[in-house]
Amino acid sequence: MLRRSLSRLCAGEEKRVGTRTVLVGHRPVADTEAYVAQKFCDNRIVSSKYTLWNFLPKNLFEQFRRIANFYFLIIFLVQVIVDTPTSPVTSGLPLFFVITVTAIKQGYEDWLRHRADNEVNKSNVFVVENAKQVRKESEKIKVGDIVEVKADETFPCDLIFLASSSTDGTCYVTTASLDGESNFKTHYAVRDTTVLCTDEAIDTLTATIECEQPQPDLYKFVGRIIIYGSNQEPVARSLGPENLLLKGATLKNTKKIYGVAVYTGMETKMALNYQGKSQKRSAVEKNLFFRSINAFLIVYLCILLGKATVCTTLKYVWQSNPFNDEPWYNEKTKKERDTFKVLRMFTDFLSFMVLFNFIIPVSMYVTVEMQKFLGSFFISWDKEMYDEEIQEGALVNTSDLNEELGQVEYVFTDKTGTLTENSMEFIECCIDGHKYKDCMAEVDGFSQPDGPLKYYGKAEKSREELFLRALCLCHTVQIKEADQVDGLVAHPERKYTYISSSPDEIALVKGAEKYGFTFLGLENNFMKIRNQKNETEMYQLLHVLNFDPVRRRMSVIVRSSTGKLLLFCKGADSSIFPRVQQEEIQQTKVHVDRNAMDGYRTLCVAFKELTEKEYDKIDRQLNEAKMALQDREEKMAKVFDDTEADMHLIGATAVEDRLQEQLAETIEALHAAGMKVWVLTGDKMETAKSTCYACRLFQTSTELLELTARTVGESDRKEDRLHELLLEYHKKLIQDLPKARGGLKSWTLSQEYGLIIDGSTLSLILNPSQDCGSSNYKSIFLQICLKCTAVLCCRMAPLQKAQIVRMVKNTKGSPITLSIGDGANDVSMILEAHVGIGIKGKEGRQASRNSDYAVPKFKHLRKLLLAHGHLYYVRIAHLVQYFFYKNLCFILPQFLYQFFCGFSQQPLYDAAYLTMYNICFTSLPILAYSLLEQHISIDTLTSDPQLYMKVSDNAMLQWRPFLYWTFLGAFEGLVFFFGVYFLFQNSSLEDNGKVFGNWTFGTIVFTVLVFTVTLKLALDTRFWTWMNHFVIWGSLAFYVFFSFFWGGVIWPFLKQQRMYFVFAHMLTSVSTWLAIILLIFISLFPEILLIVLKNIKEKNHQAGPFDLPVLVSYKRIENGYVKAEDAVTNLAERYPLRIP
C-alpha cells in the first residue's frame, strides 16, 4: 500500500538495480514494509598495502617479478647447487642488499600509511543513540548511525545532512583535503528534517534512504529519503550532491550538524578516489627499461654468454693435451673420469656464467629508484617556483616521471585559468544592442550604440532594470561576513564579501552592483536585492537549473513579490542564441563578436515569463526527475532542455580575464625548445584567437587555417565541404612543401601556419557518418596538425580534449605529450597525456589533485621543463651508461685472466671485493652525481631554450653514446689487466727478492679499477658541492681503509684468510705505487685529452664554460621554428658536444 502511494513520486522506478537502502538510526519502518537487511562495510580506512603476516611473502613476490632480481636469484641458486669458483655470497649479498633496501623503503612507507590509518580510525566521534550522545571510535560507525559533527571537525564518513544549528538548515564546509578548494561550499538539509536540531528531536526521526551504490565521483550523488510520520502518508524528497557531506571535508561557521551515515570506510568517496587513482608509468622509463636498457642488457647478456662460451670451449681445447688435462701433480679421481663430458661442459659453462655475471648491473635498479625518489624533492624545494599569493610551491605527485620532463614534444594547455589569471573583472555589457560602460546613472546612463542600429540612444529603462535583475538573481553566489572568510578581503565599503566556485559569477554580481543593483544574499529561499532607488526587492527562489559543461548555461526560476514567475538564463552565446527569438539575435551578436575579438569572455542573458500552468508542469517534471535513482542526470537534462526554450534575449556581458604574467615569454621559450603548443579550450573562437595572439602563440605572419562551423557550414554538404578543406590544407602543407636539403626535413616552413578547429568540426573528423566515403579524415587532419606551428581547438568538451591528446600520443614515434590545466574539465586530458601538470588555480584543485606535478603559475612550466626536466634526463642517462661502463671495466680483466690460468675458473678478485664493488666502493659517487650535477647552469638552461633540443628524442640513450661508453670500458679494462701483467714480468718486485702472488696481482688491478672509475666520474662532474667531494674522496678512502681492515692489519683476527696482509704488503713496493699511478693516468688520458681540446676550442670561440657529457643527438626535427642544420650548428658553436 505504501509502495503504491509512493509510485506517483517515484515514477519509472520499477527497476532499482545498483541501489542501497539505509534505515536512519537503525529504526525499522512500518510492519507492512518489507525490508531485507543489507550488509555494509565498517568505517575502517585501510590505505596500507601489507600486514605483519603477508609483508615478507608479498613483498618478495613483487620484487622477484623484476627480471634483474630474478636473474640474480637464479645465479645465486646456481652457485649454491653447482661447484662454482666464487662463493654464493658474492651474488647473494648484493641481491640481499637490493632486496633489503627496497623492502625497508616499502615497509617504512606502508608503516606510515598504517599510522595515518590508525589516527583516523581511532579518532573520537559522537553518535546519537536513544536520544543521547555516545562517544565511539570512528572505525565503529555503521551505515545508518546518526552522527553529530561540531564546528571545525572533519566528517568521519559520508553523511546525508539532516539538520544543523542554523534555522534555515544550511551549513558551510571546505573540501580542501578532497579537491583542494579552500572556499566555503553551502550544503542543505532536507527541508522536512531541518527542525530536528537536538539529540531528542533527531532521535524521533523514522526514515529510509535509497541511494546509488558507492562511486568515486565527488560531485555526483543520486538518492531520495522517505520520511514516515505518525498517521501520515510517507513523504519522499530527492537527495543530491548538495545534501551529501563527504568524509574528509571540514565543517565551518556552523556550530553543529546531524547527519546519517550512508557510505563508510573503504566505500566513502574519498577512499574510492584514492583506490581508483592509477599511477602512470613513465614513457622514458619504458624507454629506459623496455627499449634502451633492455637493449643494452641484451648486448651485455650476449657479451656474458660469449665470454662463458669462449672460455668453456678454450678450456676443453686446452685440456685436449693430456698433460694439461691431468698433470702429474693433480690427477683426477675415478668419479671425475667417469663423469659424462657434456654434463661437465654444462657445469663449466654455468661456472663461467657465475664468474662473469657481475657484468649485469643489478644495483643500477635500486640506484635509479633512489635517484627518482630523492630527486623529486628538488622540484618541491625550488624557491623560484613558489608563489607568494597562494603561499604554495610546486608539488610532485609522481616521482617516476622526472626525466620525462626533459623529453616533451607536445604541450596541450587549457586557456582560462591556465594561460589567463581567472581573475575576472566586469568590463561592459550590452542591453538590446546598446553598450554600457563605466557607471550608469539612475536617470541617464552612459550608453553607446553598438552595431548597425537604426537609432541611437539607450535601451528602455525597464529593459535595463530587467537585465540587471537577471545578473543579481541568476547565479549561485553566497554572501559571508568578511571577517569569517579566510583569505578573502572584503570590499572596503561593505561588511561582506561574495563567495562562489566560479570567479565569473562574482564579477557579474559586482558588475550589477556597479550599475546600482546589489545582491544582498539568500535567506529562507528568498533572494534579496537592492535596486537603484535603494529599495529592497524580494524574490522567492523556486528552482536552480545548475550549470554544466554540456549545456554551457544555467538558469533560475523565481517568483517576484507581485507573484510574477520569471526564468532567467545566462550562458555561452552558442547555447543561448538557438533558444531565443531569432530576430533579437543580430544586434547583440555584433556586440558579442566585437568583445570576443578584444579577448573578453562573453555571456548572453535571456529571460522568459512563465504562467502558473507552465510552472506547475515544470515543477512536477523537475521533482520527478530529481526523485529518479536511475538515469537521473539524463532525465534532468531533458527537463532543463524543455524549460530553457522560447526565451527572449536581453543582452550580453563582457568580462576580462587577464593573461598570466610572463605568459608570452614562456610560450616563446617552449617554441624555441622545439615543443609545439596546442590550446584546447571551451571558449568561443574569437576570444581564444585573441588570447593566442596576445600570448604570441600566433604571430602576425602566421597564416591561419580554419576548420570551424563558419568555414565548413551548416548545410547537408558540410562533410563534403570538410573533405574539400582537408584536402586543400593537406596539399598546401604537405604536398607543396619543398624538400629540405640532404634528405633532412626542415624544422620550419618558409611560411608559418596555425590551425583553428572547433568541437563540432572535430566530432565530424573523429566520428564521420557511416555513409561518408571519407574514412581517412583523421589521418589527413593529423598530418595537417603536425605540420602547423600552433593549433587552437575551441568550443571543446572535456572528452574531446582527451581525444586530441590521445590522437597525437598514438602517432608514429609516440611523441611525449604534456597536458596542463587548472579545472575539473581538464582532468581527462591531464590523465591522458604522458605528463600531467595541474595549475593551483581558482577553479578548485581537481586538476592538481589528478596531475603528476602541480605548479602555481604557467610561467613555472619554463623552469620545470627547460631546467629540471633537462637535468633529470641527463643525470639518469649518465647514471645508466656509467653503470654499464664500470661493470665492463670490472669484469673484463677477470675474463682476460682466464687465458693465463688455464681456464680454471680461478677468480681474479677476492670475494669481498666482488661483493662490495657495486654496493660500497662505487655506488655513492654516481648517486650524488645523479642528484646534484648541473653540466650547464640552471640560468643558462632557462635563458637558452634551444639547449633543450640537445637531449630530446632520448639522445643520450642511443646506440652511439652506448658504444662509446662500452669501448671506453673495454679500453680501460685492457689497460688495467695488461698494465699489471707487464709489471709482473719481473716477478720480484721487492728489494729482498720476494715475489708477489696471484691475489696481489688481482688487488693491484682492483685498486686501479676503483680509482679510475671514481676519478672518471670526477672528470665528468661540472658542478661541485661539498657532497660530491665527500662521496668521491670518501669512497676512495673507504676502499683503502677496508682493504687494510680485510687484510688483518686493523682487525688481526682475520689473519687466517687468503687476503692476510696482501694490501699492506703490496703498498711497500715503489714499483707498485708507480704502476698504479701510471695506469690510472693512461686509462683517463683519452678523457683528459678531450677536455683539454674542448677548453682550447671554447677559448677560441669564446663559448660558454659548460657542455653535455658524451652526448650526440639524432633527433629528426620537423616543423619548428629554426632549421635543424642552423640549430645544431649554432648550438655546437656555443656549447660544443663531446663526440666520441
Q: Per residue in 293-306, pLDDT tens?
A: 778 888 888 888 88
- pLDDT for the residue numbered 931: 92
Three-class SS of residue 698?
coil
Query: Residue 570: what pLDDT?
Result: 92
The amino acid present at 975, given as its one-letter code, is V
| Positions marked catalytic | 414
* Predicted pLDDT at 893: 93
The pLDDT of residue 450 is above 60: no
Nearest-CA neighbor of 549 among 843, 185, 181?
843
Is 654 a residue whose pLDDT tops 80? yes
At 331, the pLDDT band (50, 70, 90 cuts) reads low
Task: Record the pTM.
Answer: 0.71
Task: Quote the pLDDT of residue 926.
Answer: 92
Work out the percent of the chain whose per-residue pLDDT is above 90.
15
Residue 853 makes CB contacts below 8 A (sequence gap 6+) with: 379, 394, 395, 396, 397, 398, 401, 405, 835, 836, 837, 838, 864
- Cα gap 359→887, rounded to integer Å: 5
Say which range, 402-416, 749-763, 1108-1122, has the weakest mean pLDDT: 1108-1122
In this model, does residue 524 exceed pLDDT 80? no
Q: What angle do CA 485, 487, 492 make, to 5 degrees?
A: 75
288 pLDDT band, cuts 50/70/90, is very low
Q: Please give the average per-residue pLDDT across 841-860, as a whole number.
A: 76
For residue 885, pLDDT beyond 90? yes
Instruction: Return the minimum-mean-pLDDT range out of 680-689, 812-821, 1034-1043.
Output: 680-689
Write b or e for each residue in 232-244: b if 16 or more Cβ atoms lie within 10 A of its Cβ, otherwise e: eebbbbbbbeebb
Query: Does residue 485 surpass a pLDDT of 50?
Result: no
Residue 69 and residue 72: Cα distance in Å, rounded? 5
Instruction: Indicate the pLDDT class of residue 628, thresholds 50, 70 and 90.
Output: confident
Closest CA relative to residue 110, chosen from 60, 55, 57, 63? 55
Kindly indicate the confidence band of residue 908, based on its pLDDT and cuts at 50, 70 and 90: confident
d(CA 571, CA 573) in angstroms, rounded, equals 6
pLDDT band (50, 70, 90) for residue 1106? very low
pLDDT at residue 23 above 70? yes
Specify the higher pLDDT residue, 1029 or 17. Answer: 1029
Q: Is the confidence at residue 487, as pLDDT, over 90?
A: no
Q: Which helix (H) or strand (E) holds 884?
A: helix 870-897
Q: What pLDDT score was predicted for residue 1104?
A: 45
Go through the chain and tell me how many residues it has. Answer: 1140
pLDDT for 1055 beyond 80:
no
Lowest mean pLDDT among 734-743, 948-957, 1119-1128: 1119-1128
| Average of per-residue pLDDT values in the chain | 79
CA–CA gap between residue 183 and residue 188 (Å, rounded): 17
Q: Of all residues in the chain, what percent carry a pLDDT higher than 70?
A: 81
Of the given ranges (770-784, 792-806, 1029-1043), which has the lowest mean pLDDT? 770-784
Q: Work out the pLDDT band at 1134, boundaries 50, 70, 90.
A: very low
The pLDDT confidence band at residue 445, using thresholds 50, 70 and 90, is very low
Cell 532499482 sits on residue = 16
Q: In this model, does residue 553 exceed pLDDT 80? A: yes
Cell of 835: 605528463
Confidence of residue 490 (pLDDT cuts 50, 70, 90): very low
Residue 110: name the closest of 156, 59, 74 by CA. Answer: 59
Q: What CA dihedral angle connects 1087, 1091, 1092 and 1095, to 10 degrees? A: 170
Residue 694, pLDDT score: 79
pLDDT over 50 at 1042, yes or no: yes
Q: How confident is the model at residue 569 (pLDDT cuts 50, 70, 90)?
A: very high
Residue 551 contacts residue 566 (beta carbons within 8 Å): no
Query: What secondary structure does DSSP assign to 912-977, as a single string?
Result: HHHHHIIIIISHHHHHHHHHH--SS-HHHHHH-GGGGGGGTTTGGGSHHHHHHHHHHHHHHHHHHH
> CB under 8 Å to 67, separation ≥6 — which residues?
none
Residue 394, pLDDT > 70, answer yes
Task: Name the grid cell of 938.
Answer: 640552471
- Once rounded to an integer, what is the mean pLDDT over residues 118-130? 88
Contacts of 78 (CB under 8 A, 6+ apart): 84, 350, 353, 354
Which of 136-140, 480-484, 653-657, 913-917 is the most confident on average?
136-140
Q: Which residues contact 63 (CB under 8 A, 6 or more apart)?
A: 69, 99, 102, 103
Give yes or no for a contact between 858 and 419, defined as CB atoms under 8 angstroms apart: yes
Taking the CA atoms of 130, 132, 135 and 139 in sequence, report the sign of the dihedral they define: positive
Structure confidence at residue 1029 (pLDDT): 93
The arithmetic mean of pLDDT across residues 1059-1086, rounded, is 85
Across 405-409, average pLDDT: 89
> Considering only 86-90, 148-152, 556-560, which range has the smallest mean pLDDT?
86-90
Most confident of 192-196, 344-348, 862-866: 862-866
Is pLDDT of 427 > 80? yes
Q: What is the pLDDT of residue 975?
A: 93
Average pLDDT over residues 757-763: 84
pLDDT band, very low/low/confident/very high, at 1138 (cuts 50, 70, 90)? very low
The amino acid at residue 507 is A
Q: Which residue type, as a one-letter code, is found at position 193?
A: T
Residue 1136 near residue 1107, CB atoms below 8 Å: yes
pLDDT computed for residue 1013 by the predictor: 94
Whether the predicted pLDDT of 1045 surpasses 60:
yes
pLDDT band at 31 (very low <50, low <70, confident <90, very high): low
List the one residue out of 421, 434, 428, 822 whose CA is nearest residue 598.
Answer: 428
User: Residue 1112 is placed in which grid cell?
Assistant: 650526440
pLDDT recorded at residue 253: 79
pLDDT at 284: 45
Q: Which three cell numbers stand for residue 662?
A: 610572463
CA gap 528, 1025 in Å, rounded? 65
C-alpha cell at 254: 556552523
Residue 925 pLDDT: 93
